[in-house]
Structure 1
Amino acid sequence: MSHHLKAIDREEHLAFVTARPSVSHMQVPSWGDVKPDWRAESLGWFSEDGTLVGAGLVLLRPLPKLKRYFAYLPEGPVIDWASGDLGEWLEPMLAHLRRRGAFSVRMGPPVVTRRWSADALKAAIADPGARRLGDVEATVHEPGARDVADQLHRLGWRRTAAGEEDGFAVGQPRHVFQVPFSGRSLEEIQQGFNQQWRRNIKKAENAGVKVVQGTYEDLPVFYALYTETAERDRFIPRPLPYFQRMWTALRAEHPDRMRLYLAHHDGEVLAAATMLTVGQHVWYSYGASTGRKREVQPNNAIQWRMMSDAHELGAAVYDFRGITDTLDEGNHLLGLLRFKAGSGGEAVEYLGEWDLPLNKVLHKAFHLYMSRR
């Protein structure tokens, strides 16, 4: 029997999220405040006895001049994905979104499919025959992921094309890098670092690098380094008001939802990073650094401070977020993958994002419009 679904208020949504050990930072009520171009709504799934058993933050992007919407649930919804019948969860959601005027729905099931250990990843990077992460045998295949994918296909959902250029920033990384913290002391976590990481942390300490928490007033300092990083690493930076909005919205919901860290050396800020926390899941969200004084290793210093603080907060996992799935030496992102792999964690593949066009003509027209903006 299908669950009953209806819109819920922020307080009810937040209470549901707070009671769970791990929920994406994009599935908390305050995330809707970070996205002013989208209309946010909290959805709740209820059992027959009226118990709230699932929740989701849906972002609605309007089609120009029409009261029709592209509906997006980033890294959500938060439901029982191991259910033997996903239709009883998803069909009520689709019916609700149709009534809201949605012409297309995209979601990102928080379902892990495969994991590669740091050793397996290191061997894969060194293997000239391995072009992509998927070419390498995974250390762990998560049970149940295939069944979820099969159910979604039967219900009409289709995986968003890999590398698809939609022209708007909704896509979330399918591959991430995570360091498990659960049941491990801080010393055990550091012992898992490779020799280069441990050496660089010591270099930063000996050089006098100091990592401190920043405030709202420090966001422009972070932003100056972020734009320098964007130019160096060839990506389009978000505007400063985006980060100011993140700070205000997320910290209003919980004071530790977002933190800013700055690495100082001789009166100069060499690196900065934002950290997000929901329950026992902590994310390294955005990082920035200058090309100057790299020899004092501010990036390793800032990561070690953030990981230490995350451990103190009771984190079960420290999430470095997205990694490239290419192992091509010519790819400029491979260096970032090597850096993250040095932390001794694991590469994690999620099920990816899935689309269900409710009106194929409007779905196609919207994506065409966004690609030409």
Structure 2
Amino acid sequence: MSALLVTAGCGPRQAWLGPVSADTYRSFLASRTGQALGPSFLQCPSWALVKPGWRPRLLGWGAGDGSGDGSGDGSGRGEPRGVALVLLRQFPGTRKSFAYLPEGPVTDWSDPDIDAWLTPLLRHLRGLGAFAVRIGPSPAHRRWDAAALKSATGLGRRLSDVLACEVDPLGTVVAERLRARGWRRCGEGPDGGGDADAQPRHVLRVPLAGRRADDLWSGLNQEWRRNIRKARKSGVEVTVGGAADLPEFFRLLRITEERDGFRLGRSLEYYQRQYAALNAEQPGRMRLYLARHEGEVLAAHTMITVGRRAWYQTGASADHRREVRPSNALQWRMLQDAHQQGALEYDMRGVPSTLDPEDRAFGLTRWKLGTGGQVVETLGEWETALDGTANHTLYRAFQLYLARR
């Protein structure tokens, strides 16, 4: 589909929205690194290669008359002002698709004229056969410091019971703008239910900007520092592995899933595809860290870096010799490496919303809080059904389909 020409705002400003090349897309992402933390790895072109069963589209929008070829070289199109990796999932038995923009689109959410790109984006996706759209706006909503949450734990307690240390005004504004346009936040249906977010709404982030290596160490709680020292004294060795080590990582991941009672539903081939795709796009983008003790790999964690952000994505560990604290040693090395590479933030990804010490899930929150980071509530994911009664009916049917899966 060719670019759409739109007239946005109160004046005669012309803009385009349509497909862009992967090079143009990556160039735009690189240009944002100096302005902010940068985009999520889920919005990189390489992520499209990780998700089989989804049909990817790279879109961009900006000023110009829309007559160019998507190269972003100024011939008809200006440089993009926003981009989006769109994943389309066909609903079985139909020609219609669900459009998903994981932790995207990548745009200036502070711009009050979101209709300048949001309206043509929805029109374009409707033209691709989408009956509903889910997005993940980047602004945060609320933040809690580790110290505040440590004193707020208790029977039946949840994050929502604790006064936030900070409320992001931009997040509040973006949420109001989306609601005013008929978008629904996932998990907040009319009956209080609705689809849950596909990506974690609550994450643990360790700020790195302006901190020295000594600051990172002093930011750890006493238990973390003690466990790191114990790992070092016990002879735990942390190294960066490669593609050949992914089978060992996956073996430990299956042990972890069985022990902790969860199932990611991913195969070894999934991680091999992810490792190959991300590192082909940018060498070193995805790293596999291994912790060995007496020659045996006891834990393995993956880290992804895009721009000036780093993420701890997936962790796995053995059931035995846990007393030598291989996971603490891994995280400390990953945190140091992220800092040395110039990351402004180390994102440890999802934490549950419970603050109940009797709840097994709280153990993960407690462990991550030991790094001295902040629990951040993102805006979460938002959905809208596109115009038409048939699309609304199909949207409800698709929600039931996902729930069964």
Deviations 1:195-224 (A, max 9, x none): 000111110000000001111110010011
Task: Indicate if the aligned counterparts of 2:90 and 2:98 stay in contact, CA closer than 8 A.
Answer: yes
Cα drift, residue 68 of structure 1: 1.1
Q: Match of 1:147, as an amino acid? A: V
2:59 to 43, 52, 62: 43
Return the offset for 1:46.
Answer: 0.8
Task: Give me the whole-angstrom Cα distance separating, in 2, the residues matched to 1:173 and 1:164.
Answer: 17
**Mapped contact 1:79–1:89 kept (Cα < 8 A):** no
Deviation at 1:355, TM superposition (A): 0.4
Q: CA deviation at 1:351?
A: 0.7
Out of 199, 210, 232, the position equivalent to 1:183 is 210
2:277 corresponds to which of 226, 230, 249: 249
Q: Percent sequence identity over matched residues?
A: 50
User: Is the contact between residue 43 and residue 103 of structure 2 (CA under 8 Å) also seen in structure 1?
Assistant: yes
SS of equivalent to 2:346: strand
Letter in 2 for 1:44: G
Q: Are 2:54 and 1:54 aligned?
A: no
Greater Cα radius of gyration, structure 1 or 2? 2
Q: Do structure 1's residue 150 and structure 2's residue 176 form an aligned pair?
A: yes
Counterparts of 1:75-90 in structure 2 under 5 Å?
A: 75-90=103-118
Q: CA deviation at 1:166?
A: 5.4
Question: Is 1:323 equivalent to 2:355 in the alignment?
Answer: no
Query: Which structure 1 residue ranges, 5 or more long, are not aligned?
Result: none
CA contact (8 A) 2:186 2:195 kept: no
State the distance in 1 between where 2:176 and 2:195 align. 25
Once residues 258 and 161 of structure 1 are traced to their aligned partners in structure 2, the CA distance between those partners, rounded to angstroms, is 31
Work out the number of aligned pairs and report it: 369
**1:233 to partner: Cα distance:** 1.2
Q: Is the 8 A contact 2:88 2:97 kept in 1?
A: yes
- Contact kept? 2:207, 2:373, Cα under 8 Å: yes
1:371 aligns with 2:403: yes
Which of these residues, 288, 291, 294, is aligned with residue 319 of structure 2? 291
Structure 1 position 239, deviation (Å):
1.1
Q: SS where residue 124 of structure 1 aligns?
A: coil
Q: Which residue of 2 is the match for residue 263 of structure 1?
A: 291
Quick check: 355-364 or 41-50, which moved more? 41-50
Distance (whole Å) between structure 1 residues aligned to residue 401 and residue 323 of structure 2: 46
TM-score by length of 2: 0.88
Alignment partners' CA distance in 1, 2:360 and 2:91: 36
Instruction: Give the whole-Å Cα distance in 2 for the aligned partners of 1:144 and 1:301.
Output: 36
Alpha-carbon RMSD: 1.6
1:193 maps to 220
**Map 1:350-369 → 2, pairs under 5 A:** 350-358=378-386, 359-369=391-401
Say yes or no: does 1:135 pair with 2:135. Answer: no
Which residue pairs with 2:268 in the alignment? Answer: 240
The equivalent residue for 2:16 is: 4
Tell me the distance in 2 between the aligned counterparts of 1:196 and 1:143.
35
CA distance in 1, matches of 2:194, 2:243: 33
Q: Determine the C-alpha separation between the residues in 2 that align with 1:371 and 1:159.
A: 17
What is the distance in 1 between the residues matched to 2:370 and 2:404? Answer: 40
- Per the alignment, in what secondary structure is the counterpart of residue 30 of structure 1? helix
Residue 282 of structure 1 contacts residue 318 of structure 1 at CA under 8 Å; is this kept in 2?
yes
Question: What's 1:13 paired with?
Answer: 25
Q: Is the 8 A contact 1:81 1:148 kept in 2?
A: yes
Deviation at 1:182, TM superposition (A): 0.5
Whose RCO is larger (CA < 8 A, sep 6+)?
Answer: 1
Q: What residue in structure 1 maps to residue 50 of structure 2? A: 34
Runs of 4+ displaced beyond 6 Å: none
5+ long unaligned stretches in structure 2: 1-7, 10-14, 65-76
Q: C-alpha separation between the residues in 2 aligned to 1:325 and 1:180?
A: 20
Aligned amino acid, residue 98 of structure 2:
F
2:246 to 204, 219, 232: 219
Number of the residue aligned with 1:71 = 99
- CA distances 1:113-153 after superposition (whole Å, capped 9, x unpaired): 1111110111122x44x621011011111122221111101
* CA positional deviation for 1:164: 6.3
Residue 97 in structure 1 maps to residue 125 in structure 2? yes
Equivalent AA in structure 1 for residue 324 of structure 2: V
Q: Which amino acid aligns with 2:273?
A: R
- Aligned residue for 1:144, secondary structure, equals helix
**CA distance, structure 2, for counterparts of residue 190 and residue 60 of structure 1:** 43
- With normalisation by structure 1, the TM-score equals 0.96
Q: Following the alignment from structure 2 to structure 1, what is the Cα–Cα distance between the partners of residues 183 and 16?
A: 21
Alpha-carbon contact 2:104-2:135 (below 8 Å) kept: yes
My pick for the range that moved more, 45-54 or 321-330, is 45-54
